[in-house]
Amino acid sequence: MINMYNSGLSIVRYLAKSNIIVQGRYASQALPQLSSEKYDVKRKNFGTVQAADINYFKSILSEQRVVTDESDVLPFNIDWIKNCRGQSKVVLKPKTTEEVSKILAYCNEKRLAVCPQGGNTGLVGGSVPVFDEIVLSFMLMNKIISLDEISGALVCEAGCILENVDNYVRNHNLIMPLDLGAKGTCHVGGNVSTNAGGLRLLRYGNLHGSLLGIEAVKADGTVIDCLRSLKKDNTGYHLKHLFVGSEGTLGIVTKLAIHCPVLPKAVTVGFFGLENFDNVLKLFKSAKSSLGEILSAYEMMDNESIRGTLRNMKLTSPIPEYPFYVLMETHGSDADHDTEKVNRFLSKEMDTGLILNGTVATEPGKIQAIWKIRESIPAACMMDGYVFCYDVSLPLANYYQLVPMLRERLGSNASVIGFGHIGDGNIHINVTISDFDKEVLGVLEPFIFEEVSKLQGSVSAEHGIGFRKPQYIHYSKDRSALGLMRDLKTLMDPNGILNPYKVLPDDV
């Protein structure tokens, strides 16, 4: 089951990034098994939705925004990668914070569990119910409230789709500070609730830094209004961060203010071949120093990643075969300056021998062709058999060491590849075998998580914990931290109605 999840994940990431339909083993699968059965979860002691409850919700929201028809509710019960299926009987579609507040106050009093849902693009089952939790969909809270073109402060409702907001601010010469494969579907409220990282983190930083303000509703219906759009505000506790990355378990984000950087005028992409991983790190250090402020991505791929991708996806590399590859991107305000910097960097590092061969692209078509190789890796793996995928953060010095370790551990039965965002310390490790094999799973897990833990890494770099990973959280959080998490949950949501069965392990 873990494998299915993992494999599905690769497909979705690929689909989302490249808009290519892969005819894979899960494309035509039947309705997923119920999460409660598949993962053997016991329902907690919540109330059950009654006709009177439905009537109450209708009195707040109107008839149309209380969905109870089984087939209409179904899509809200199944996650994007078709790994989880809940049993909710009702979806509520509030349009205002006041409505969200009323719904939660009522549910809290009646002990009715609630599952907040944005674009439902999460990869760890956090956005769908497990049992009969009421789904609170934010699809109708999708208004952009204001944009300060000078400061770059955007204020909008939680249900805005990331791509729509990005298009909106691009018309004002700004961009959203985050970019994800799922941008056409995911909601900005979900991005904040899951602390989405994405492709631009190296350049524009994380959401804790970009988020200016938040409005959120506590389990008891209290609206926490921290919706200022100021860059500096040291008046008391910085409450908004409680709602970033807590996956809807401490409160529900209804509005947010975020800082949008200026739209870059020039984009450059380089693709380089290198001798070994040590040189990949040395080159990263040099790129940071030479390109500093314009460096927007620094991705690494081992030869095994690229070789299989070129073969399976029928792509051509702009350079011959090397043990390691780097894809480097810049975002800047002056095309001539950026090209000059990148060419100078390439020329210098070819002289030093760090780069064995390389190409630099500035035309959109060529840029896209290079990115396509990088983005096709997950889907290319799928074509070779069954894939176990891991998405972990590691200190840079140890970034690649799990790959040779796993190769040695698994021998010739498996193909192990490593690729990822070096700039963010985030590596994807894919292990491909011909067919699913429980023994291989036993060799991989918990070994990988234990190694990540020893190296002070993170067992979930960006996807979060959700429903699928609470049992692994202790590999990255010690008892003191887990204890404080539990205390915060009890404080903010004493009846535990907000997104139950998620994030917190039961034994904390």
Residue 504 interacts with a second copy (CB under 8 A): yes or no: yes
- Two structure tokens written together for 162: 């990331």
The minimum distance between CB 20 and a second copy, in angstroms, equals 26
Task: Looking at residues 468 to 487 of the shown chain, list those that interact with a second copy (rule: CB under 8 A).
Answer: 469, 473, 475-478, 480-485, 487
**Binding region for a second copy (CB under 8 A) out of 32-40, 77-85, 160-168, 329-337:** 329-337
Residue 102 interacts with a second copy (CB under 8 A): yes or no: no
* Start-end of H helices in 78-137: 97-110
- What does the per-residue mask of binding to a second copy show for 369-398, with x meaning CB under 8 A? ------------------------xxxxx-
Cβ–Cβ under 8 Å, residues 55 and 49: no
Contact residues for 255 (Cβ-Cβ < 8 A; gap 6+) = 97, 145, 155, 156, 157, 158, 214, 215, 227
Task: Looking at residues 114 to 133 of the shown chain, list those that interact with a second copy (rule: CB under 8 A).
Answer: none
Q: Closer to a second copy at the Cβ: 301 or 459?
A: 459
Task: Using DSSP, state whether 253 is helix, strand or coil.
Answer: strand
Task: Using DSSP, state whether 433 is helix, strand or coil.
Answer: strand
Q: Closer to a second copy at the Cβ: 187 or 341?
A: 341
Residue 181 interacts with a second copy (CB under 8 A): yes or no: no
The minimum distance between CB 425 and a second copy, in angstroms, equals 5
Residues that bind a second copy (rule: CB under 8 A) add up to a total of 98
Amino acid at 49: V
Cβ–Cβ under 8 Å, residues 267 and 371: no
Task: Looking at residues 401 to 430 of the shown chain, list those that interact with a second copy (rule: CB under 8 A).
Answer: 421, 423-426
The minimum distance between CB 94 and a second copy, in angstroms, equals 18
**Binding region for a second copy (CB under 8 A) out of 38-46, 48-56, 157-165, 333-341:** 333-341
- Two structure tokens written together for 414: 């498996």
Q: Which of 78, 144, 356, 488 binds a second copy (CB under 8 A)?
A: 488
Prior bond to 446 cis, omega within 30?
yes
- Taking the C-alpha atoms of residue 101 and residue 61, their distance in angstroms, rounded to an integer, is 12
Residue 209 interacts with a second copy (CB under 8 A): yes or no: yes
- Taking the C-alpha atoms of residue 289 and residue 331, their distance in angstroms, rounded to an integer, is 15
Strand-by-strand arrangement of the 66-67 sheet: 66-67, 91-92, 134-137, 114-117
Q: Which of 118, 464, 496, 500 binds a second copy (CB under 8 A)?
A: 464
- Taking the C-alpha atoms of residue 94 and residue 98, their distance in angstroms, rounded to an integer, is 9
**Binding region for a second copy (CB under 8 A) out of 60-68, 75-83, 327-335, 356-364:** 327-335
Number of neighbouring beta carbons within 10 Å of residue 491: 11
The answer for 138, left when phi > 0, alpha when psi is -120 to 50, beta otherwise, is alpha
Number of helices (H) and strands (E), helices first, in the chain?
A: 17, 16
Task: Looking at residues 153 to 172 of the shown chain, list those that interact with a second copy (rule: CB under 8 A).
Answer: 153
- Taking the C-alpha atoms of residue 116 and residue 246, their distance in angstroms, rounded to an integer, is 12
β-bridge pairing 211-217 and 223-226: antiparallel
Residue 97 interacts with a second copy (CB under 8 A): yes or no: no
The minimum distance between CB 24 and a second copy, in angstroms, equals 26
The minimum distance between CB 457 and a second copy, in angstroms, equals 7
- What does the per-residue mask of binding to a second copy show for 222-261, with x meaning CB under 8 A? xxxxx-xxxxxxxxxxxx-xx-xxx---x----------x
Q: Which of 59, 262, 347, 404 binds a second copy (CB under 8 A)?
A: 262
